[in-house]
Structure formats: structure tokens, C-alpha cells
């Protein structure tokens, strides 16, 4: 299939583009490279030294004989997006191309506006190009489990059947997101759902949990194909951060009690889930929602697992509970469904000692690149 990966220079997008290319799909990457720019603005760098996108793609072609087209530009620029899509003529678009950090979106008004404009307008432009030129193209959009928040009932996959005053309906599951970033994903979901309804487009919203790990078969083939791994207080995510903190002897930064529970998945499952969605398109007019995570953990449990794995490889790991910079429930019910992707063939990689070992070893290998000043959280939700 001809698959356009928007955001293909990023953490999930790079791994996915190579994986889909390796599976025999005809892949193109579209990316504005703005994430590299935001890193520079924040004075942060990925733990791993990532090569320029052109060098990455050249290496992929040299190694495998498979070429991946590249379109550098912003999906907020409608004519650029339209031109790129007319040139590539995708049968499926996988859309990762958003500002994806909750802390970034909570820095100040400018960052909240940037996040919502970048994400919501970009997705809306994409919907219009699809409607105008490729109405049969399947949109596979990365959403987030954080759209649901932490309700005191089970979380279903996108929809919930409710009986009210003697009547019954299946409705979009209520959304209670916890940052302006997570809110932008809710706005996207509403826009995509509406576009499917009125124009008959086909879309799958992948409500992904927190991704961990760095190696996939393809990105591990060569140093020039290495993926990014963020550890800083803005773009770094919980488990990845904990492994890197353990590697450099920094106390693990658990916010508050650590009772916050989330869905997580290995990056090797991210790429496979996207492939499953691409290979099984939604029907015309259908807005499908899959919860994309494999296991649920509390943050405190993750910290304890990293401590144990660290100790096993000779690292002295301390866990520290910091004042929570976010406004969120620290003790809550959390039970989310995740059967739809498994029903379509996902065989999860569960979080294991060997994965933690390899992530810790990876972190130790690159630890000289860590800037310790970037580890503690600086962005507060209610300052
Ligand atoms: P990332 O920041 O590593 O990658 C995003 C890429 O999109 C970057 O290369 C960036 O340059 C590009 N981009 C952003 N705005 C763009 C625009 N307007 N036009 C063109 N390109 C643009 O992020 P990631 O971790 O790979 O996340 C990818 C997607 O997956 C996001 O939508 C995110 O919300 C979702 N997601 C990520 C995680 C996670 O743990 N990383 C978890 C759940 C969902
Ligand atoms: N947390 C800590 N210590 C840390 C970092 C985080 O205790 O050092 C806590 C946070 O307070 C939060 C939880 O861990 O309760 C998750 O935080 P995170 O930074 O790992 O993840 P989050 O901000 O939710 O965002 C990440 C990605 C985002 C994606 C989301 C999936 O950056 O793109 O949408 O995970 S989910 O969490 O399911 O919404």
C-alpha cells in the first residue's frame, strides 16, 4: 500500500516508517522537522544522536534497497500539504505530526496556542485534502489514552452504550483530558468523527498509551538509523525517563504519590498496531477508535521495576517522590479495554526484565550526552 507517514522524523513516526517500508509498503515521510527546532529552543537533546532525516533515509536505502520519499513542510500550510499528497497519492495516511508534550503545552499561553493550532488546524487541513482528492484514503490518526482522563468507571474503546430515562444509545466515550495538549487530541477526534459522518471518510483513531523503548528491528540495523529517546522534563515520558535517570544515578522522579495509572506499550507494538490499522481499513463513513496499549501500570510500580532492574545490573537506584507539578488525580480507578487490536492480530511485547535491561544498557551507553539540568520538571500546571 502507498502509506504517507506524517511526523515520520519523530520517535513513533520514524520507527513506523521504516517498519512499514520493511514490510513492503510504499512509504513516504512528511515532516516539518519542527520537533528538532523545539528541542533547540528548549536547549534539550535526545539521549541518542539522531542523524539528519536525509542521511537517515539515504542509509535506509543503501542498506535495504528500499526508498522512502521525503516531503519537508508543515501540514498547517494547506497548499504544501495538498501538493505533497497529490504527488504521492497515498492510500493510507498515518498522522503522527503533532506537538505531543503535555508539559510543553502548559508552559504559557503561547505554547498552549501553538499546540492547539498546530495540532487541530493541521488535522483539519488533512481532512480537507483527503475529502477533496482522496476520499477513499484511510486516515490512521494517533490519538491518546489521555483523552479519557481517569474516570471512576471502565474505559471503553471510543464509545459507550448508555441507558438514560428509559432510552439507550451508543455515544462517544466522555473525555476528561489533563492538559492543553491532551485537549488538542480530543478536538481532533471530534473533527475527524464529524468529517467521517458528513463526507463519508474512513478513519481510525489510535488512542495510544505511553510508549517506551527505543529499539525496533529496523532502527537497530545501523547507528545512522537510531531513533530519538527523550529524557528531559518536557518531552521525556515516564518509563524512558526513569531508565535514563537510573543510568546516570539520578533519583527517579515520581510526581506525587505515583498512584497515577496509565496504559503503556513497547515501541515495537506501536509500529505493529499501526500496520494492523493500515492493513484493515475502516469502512467508508466510519470513525473507528482503538485503545493502543498493552499493559497498565502505576508510575510508582514502574519506578520500583526500574529500581529492581537497575540493582540487578549493578546500578544504585533511588526513588524520589517530588511535589507533583501537574494537576491530576494521584490515586484513582483505571481499567481500560484494549481488545480490538489484539482481535486483529496484535501479539504484545510485555514489559520484561530483558527489555528493562536493554533500555538501561542503552541509557548507560549514551549517558555522557545527558544534561542533568534538564531532568527535573520545570513546568507547573497551576503556577
Ligand atoms: P515526536 O515529537 O517525536 O514526533 C512528532 C513529529 O511530528 C516530529 O518529527 C515533528 O517535527 C512532526 N510535526 C509536528 N507538527 C508538525 C506539523 N505541523 N507538520 C509536519 N510535521 C509536524 O512525537 P512522538 O512521540 O513520535 O508522537 C507521535 C504521535 O503519537 C503524536 O501525535 C502523539 O500525540 C502520539 N502519541 C505519542 C506517545 C508517546 O509516548 N510518544 C503516546 C501516545 C500518543
Ligand atoms: N510522571 C512522573 N514522573 C516523571 C514523568 C511523568 O511521575 O518524571 C507522571 C505524570 O505526572 C503522569 C504520568 O507520569 O501522571 C505520565 O506522564 P508522561 O510524561 O509519561 O506522559 P504524558 O504527559 O501523559 O504524555 C505522554 C506522551 C503523549 C501521549 C501520552 C499517552 O508525551 O504524547 O499522548 O503519553 S497517555 O499518557 O496515555 O495520555
Question: Is 7's C-beta closer than 6 angstroms to any atom of ligand 1?
Answer: yes
**336 secondary structure, DSSP code:** B
d(CA 286, CA 281): 10
Domains and CATH numbers, the chain: 2-374 (3.40.50.720)
> Which of 177, 186, 231, 237 best tests ligand 2's pocket when mutated (most atoms within 8 Å of CB)?
237
Please state the atom number of ligand 2 nearest to the C-alpha of residue 326: 11
Question: Is 102's C-beta closer than 6 angstroms to any atom of ligand 2?
Answer: yes
**Cell numbers standing for residue 375:** 531532568
Question: Is 238's C-beta closer than 6 angstroms to any atom of ligand 2?
Answer: yes
Question: Is 11's C-beta closer than 6 angstroms to any atom of ligand 1?
Answer: yes
pLDDT in 10s for each residue of the chain, 383 residues: 999 999 999 999 999 999 999 999 999 999 999 999 999 999 999 999 999 999 999 999 999 999 999 999 999 999 999 999 999 999 999 999 999 999 999 999 999 999 999 999 999 999 999 999 999 999 999 999 999 999 999 999 999 999 999 999 999 999 999 999 999 999 999 999 999 999 999 999 999 999 999 999 999 999 999 999 999 999 999 999 999 999 999 999 999 999 999 999 999 999 999 999 999 999 999 999 999 999 999 999 999 999 999 999 999 999 999 999 999 999 999 999 999 999 999 999 999 988 998 999 999 999 999 999 999 999 999 97
Ligand whose nearest atom lies closest to the CA of 5 = 1
Q: Hey, which bits of the chain come out as E strands?
A: 2-6, 26-31, 69-72, 92-95, 138-144, 159-164, 167-172, 202-208, 210-212, 252-255, 261-266, 287-292, 295-298, 319-322
User: Atom 23 of ligand 2 has which residue's CA nearest to it?
Assistant: 102
d(CA 71, CA 88): 10
Ligand 2 centroid–CA 113 distance in Å is 20
Please state the atom number of ligand 1 nearest to the C-alpha of residue 212: 40
Catalytic residue numbers read 144, 181, 185
d(CA 195, CA 193): 6
Q: Give this prediction's pTM.
A: 0.98
Sign, Cα dihedral of 25, 13, 213, 56: positive
Ligand 2 centroid–CA 264 distance in Å is 10
Ligand 2 centroid–CA 121 distance in Å is 24
Ligand 2 centroid–CA 198 distance in Å is 34
* DSSP of 202-264: EEEEEEE-EEE----TTTTS-GGGPPP---STTT--HHHHHHHHHHHTPPEEEETTS--EEEE
Please state the atom number of ligand 2 nearest to the C-alpha of residue 241: 8
HSE-up of residue 349 (Cα within 13 Å, Cβ side): 19
d(CA 104, CA 99): 8
d(CA 380, CA 383): 6
Amino acid at each position: 500500500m502507498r502509506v504517507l507517514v506524517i511526523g515520520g522524523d519523530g520517535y513513533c513516526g520514524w520507527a513506523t516508517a521504516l517498519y512499514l517500508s520493511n514490510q513492503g509498503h510504499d512509504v513516504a515521510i512528511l515532516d516539518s522537522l519542527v520537533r528538532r527546532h523545539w528541542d533547540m529552543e528548549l536547549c534539550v537533546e535526545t539521549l541518542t544522536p539522531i542523524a539528519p532525516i536525509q542521511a537517515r533515509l539515504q542509509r535506509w536505502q543503501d542498506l535495504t534497497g528500499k526508498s522512502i520519499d521525503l516531503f519537508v513542510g508543515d501540514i498547517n500550510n494547506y497548499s504544501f500539504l495538498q501538493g505533497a499528497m497529490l504527488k504521492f497519492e497515498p492510500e493510507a495516511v498515518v498522522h503522527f505530526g503533532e506537538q505531543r508534550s503535555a508539559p510543553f503545552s502548559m508552559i504559557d499561553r503561547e505554547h498552549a496556542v501553538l499546540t492547539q493550532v498546530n495540532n487541530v488546524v493541521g488535522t483539519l487541513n488533512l481532512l480537507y485534502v483527503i475529502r477533496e482528492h482522496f476520499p477513499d484514503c484511510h486516515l490512521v490518526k494517533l490519538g491518546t489514552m489521555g483523552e479519557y482522563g481517569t474516570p471512576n468507571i471502565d474505559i471503553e474503546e471510543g464509545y459507550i452504550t448508555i441507558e438514560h430515562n428509559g432510552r439507550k444509545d451508543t455515544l462517544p466515550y466522555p473525555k476528561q483530558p489533563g492538559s492543553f495538549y491532551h485537549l488538542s487530541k480530543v478536538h481532533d477526534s471530534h473533527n475527524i468523527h464529524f468529517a467521517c459522518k458528513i463526507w463519508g471518510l474512513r478513519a481510525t483513531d489510535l488512542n495510544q498509551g505511553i510508549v517506551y523503548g527505543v529499539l525496533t528491528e529496523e532502527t537497530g540495523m545501523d547507528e545512522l538509523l537510531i531513533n530519538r529517546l527523550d529524557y528531559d522534563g518536557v518531552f521525556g515520558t515516564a518509563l524512558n525517563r526513569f531508565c535514563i535517570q537510573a543510568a546516570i544515578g539520578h533519583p527517579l522522579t515520581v510526581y506525587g504519590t505515583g498512584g497515577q495509572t496509565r496504559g503503556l506499550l513497547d515501541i515495537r507494538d506501536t509500529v505493529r498496531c499501526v500496520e494492523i490499522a493500515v492493513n484493515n481499513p475502516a469502512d467508508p463513513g466510519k470513525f473507528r477508535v482503538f485503545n493502543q496499549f498493552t499493559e497498565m501500570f502505576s508510575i510508582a510500580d514502574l519506578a520500583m521495576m526500574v529500581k529492581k532492574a537497575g540493582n540487578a545490573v549493578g546500578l544504585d537506584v533511588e526513588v524520589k517522590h517530588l511535589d507533583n507539578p501537574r494537576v491530576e488525580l494521584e490515586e484513582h480507578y483505571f481499567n481500560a479495554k484494549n481488545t480490538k487490536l489484539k482481535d486483529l492480530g496484535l501479539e504484545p511485547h510485555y514489559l520484561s526484565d530483558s527489555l528493562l535491561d536493554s533500555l538501561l544498557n542503552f541509557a548507560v551507553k549514551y549517558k555522557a550526552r545527558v544534561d542533568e539540568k534538564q531532568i527535573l520538571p520545570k513546568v507547573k500546571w497551576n503556577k
